[in-house]
Amino acid sequence: MNASELTHCLRCAAACRLGTPDPTKRAIVQASAAGFCANCMITRFFLSIEGLRNLIEGTPARPGLGPEIFLNAPWRETVLRPVMRGVLAHTQMPEGSINWIEVVGNWGLPWPHGQEPKADS
């Protein structure tokens, strides 16, 4: 891999490979076109779906489970893995490219101005 294939995530600064426009190629750890690493893109995905965001972060009427739920192995295997398998099938990220410890640890990091994930309505 040469230096031109490397970039850093705009949110967490993790080093990652640039994504490729060729859908038949799969980068191990790829930056999205928006400039985010795989872990930050998964966080963005969860935050962009109102029901998932409310489940994790809570609402004024109900506390959330917190991002630590991703570290709960039984929940991750029975609930999350089938969902993520379907989601990741439409990306260049292999299933094993998500580091759930990093997702949880970086959950509260700010997003670059104007790139905050918006929950659907």
Query: What is the residue extent of each domain of the chain?
Result: 3-105
Question: DSSP code of 78?
Answer: I
pLDDT of residue 107: 95
* Contact between residue 41 and residue 33 where contact means Cβ atoms under 8 Å apart: no
pLDDT of residue 105: 95
When pLDDT is averaged across residues 99-104 and rounded to a whole number, the result is 92
Spell out the residues 6+ positions from residue 104 whose beta carbon is closer than 8 angstroms to its own: 67, 68, 70, 71
| Residue 16: C-alpha distances to residues 1, 5, 61, 102, 110 (Å) | 11, 8, 39, 14, 19
Q: Which tokens sit at 66? A: 């917190």
pLDDT of residue 28: 38
pLDDT at 11 over 60: yes
Distance in angstroms (rounded) separating the CA atoms of residues 24 and 51: 32
Distance in angstroms (rounded) separating the CA atoms of residues 52 and 57: 8
pLDDT digit string, tens, across residues 35-92: 888 899 889 888 988 988 998 999 999 998 899 988 888 888 888 888 888 888 777 7
pLDDT at 30 over 70: no
The pTM of the full predicted model, rounded to 2 decimals, is: 0.79
